[in-house]
Structure 1
């Protein structure tokens, strides 16, 4: 690369939306996989990447047949993205520290799916740097998360596919498609198309009880398709669902994030469901409508939003 060449930055700065699309492609190493995760067509993904390259006046990927290879420039842009995320987190750290003398107690209710990230990122960070903030964290179904917020038993709720309630305000969200998880080597893993729930009725299935966001999605799809599942396990633990699949006992359905580590280790395969409802399922950060939020709660909400990459 010629260091003597002058690079002219875009007049309006870097397009944040395209930067996020680029980051997803880099993380999954494939336009198709990135498009599936973001629930868009591959052509739409290409339409975001190509103008991003034009905007930066440099190629980010080399095309080799059906594969893409990141260029040196792509890794520079990836480093920029990560540095920006770190600076954003540092900003929230500073704001939180500024208000530390005013921190009180915050009650959070959440689905189990988010616990590992909540403990290792959000709460670990808060307890380490802001000892004046007392947090009460309870795990429950999406239905109970909504009920606790509506009844003012909790200040902040985080849930997957929660039921709608007129007294709830969703302040941030993230689309996280509901997928079918099967053991590595399972017959369904060989399918090349999006899977329909009618195709899985012959296999033992693990699911959550009524009241959980996972169960609500499954019940809605089963009613729509008029099919039944071959239920082998009912449990309120996402850990149990994941390990039911990894152990080879049967299949299940969950967010991709819940099975991602097993997929990366070759223990499981995630299959996209042929359902708009499942592909548009959301993680939602909620508070009660028309309720006053202290500065400490606002800052904690922003920390959760940033950590889980939610959007307003």
Structure 2
């Protein structure tokens, strides 16, 4: 295959895919669009099948184009892996890692794994992107990200999950909120009288909430719909209502004594799991493999703590918050 493919034309083809159009690729390559188009035409002749088809104002790969792109990405990945091994046989010194995660994991990553890793390996650059569940899966599968961190990914044989743990969905409210005074796991019907904030439907958390709504025959109204977990926390802090989210996504608010996390009764809201994933069969660079190991180890420690060790402390914090509210 390598003997039949011209490296330059293949590079043009991959740029067209990344840009979404021949003209966009030509701008990046600083070339005339007709020259790029001719190069792609010759490449299609060499392959014997069409590689691109028009879609609106841009182009999308055909099945053959997808196969070629996957082949090129695998070749590039193997080449990067080889070069990384040769450059750092004895110890990890240089490299670049692409990480993609749901926004709810960003604060935790920066407080733990990424902070520690970047301190230990100051010459390794990291690109941390925030994306939805579907986007994270796509980027990991297409090998545009080494490591993905997300809530309840769909079943996909192209993904390898290196660690997962239960991540129940809870309600975040002010300690003075009426829901915080019930003293029991909440039904979705308990939330109906109060305004709430939620995520858009392309988030796994929202999909779990909708499944729970169907099971209880309840439809929760949303005063705020957002793609930002941070916005959910600010919504609650401002006294505007409640928000539903996973515990790790609520971590930035955990130190605020005015906010409490309340368990939900619906079992569907306790079935979600956080996963750390990579592309199945992909050979990660030494740097990416080391960061993956660190994230997995840190997340296991976090899961152990969340499972029991810090429950008394959190109970004490809630009791103190309620006591202050009563005194006020």
The 1:168–1:266 alpha-carbon spacing in structure 2 relative to 1, beyond 3 Å, is: same
Q: Does the CA contact (< 8 Å) of 2:104 and 2:250 recur in 1?
A: no
The 1:262–1:124 alpha-carbon spacing in structure 2 relative to 1, beyond 3 Å, is: closer
Secondary structure at the aligned position of 1:309 is classed as: helix
Task: Name 1:284's counterpart in structure 2.
Answer: 275
Shift of 1:243: 1.3
In the alignment, is residue 239 of structure 1 matched against residue 230 of structure 2?
A: yes
TM-score after normalising by structure 2: 0.60
Q: Does the CA contact (< 8 Å) of 2:162 and 2:296 recur in 1?
A: no
Q: Does the CA contact (< 8 Å) of 1:159 and 1:284 recur in 2?
A: yes
In the alignment, is residue 135 of structure 1 matched against residue 126 of structure 2?
A: yes
CA deviations 1:182-234 (Å, max 9, x no partner) are 22221111213211112212211101111112211111111222211111001
Secondary structure at the aligned position of 1:185 is classed as: coil
Task: Name 2:244's counterpart in structure 1.
Answer: 253
* Higher CA-based Rg: 2
User: Which residue of 103, 106, 124 maps to 1:112?
Assistant: 103
Task: Name 1:99's counterpart in structure 2.
Answer: 91
Task: Name 2:115's counterpart in structure 1.
Answer: 124
User: Which residue of 208, 221, 229 maps to 2:212?
Assistant: 221
Q: Does the CA contact (< 8 Å) of 2:151 and 2:205 recur in 1?
A: yes
Segments of structure 2 that go 5 or more residues without pairing to the other structure are 1-87, 304-328
Give the number of equivalent residue pairs. 215
In the alignment, is residue 178 of structure 1 matched against residue 159 of structure 2?
A: no
The 1:178–1:152 alpha-carbon spacing in structure 2 relative to 1, beyond 3 Å, is: same
The 1:285–1:267 alpha-carbon spacing in structure 2 relative to 1, beyond 3 Å, is: same
The 1:263–1:239 alpha-carbon spacing in structure 2 relative to 1, beyond 3 Å, is: same
User: Which residue of 293, 299, 303 maps to 1:302?
Assistant: 293
Give the number of the structure whose residues are more often helix, by fraction.
Answer: 2
Task: Name 2:20's counterpart in structure 1.
Answer: none
User: Which residue of 184, 187, 196 maps to 1:193?
Assistant: 184
Q: Does the CA contact (< 8 Å) of 1:144 and 1:211 recur in 2?
A: no
Q: Does the CA contact (< 8 Å) of 1:97 and 1:130 recur in 2?
A: no
Distance 1:263 1:292 in 2: 37
Stretches (4+) displaced over 6 A: none
Secondary structure at the aligned position of 2:300 is classed as: coil
The 1:180–1:153 alpha-carbon spacing in structure 2 relative to 1, beyond 3 Å, is: same
Secondary structure at the aligned position of 2:291 is classed as: helix
Q: Does the CA contact (< 8 Å) of 1:105 and 1:133 recur in 2?
A: yes
Distance 1:256 1:164 in 2: 23
CA deviations 1:140-170 (Å, max 9, x no partner) are 1122111111222211100122233232111
Secondary structure at the aligned position of 2:260 is classed as: strand
Shift of 1:261: 5.9
Root mean square deviation, CA, Å: 2.2
Distance 1:288 1:275 in 2: 33
Distance 1:288 1:136 in 2: 17
The 1:200–1:282 alpha-carbon spacing in structure 2 relative to 1, beyond 3 Å, is: same
Secondary structure at the aligned position of 2:223 is classed as: strand
In the alignment, is residue 169 of structure 1 matched against residue 160 of structure 2?
A: yes
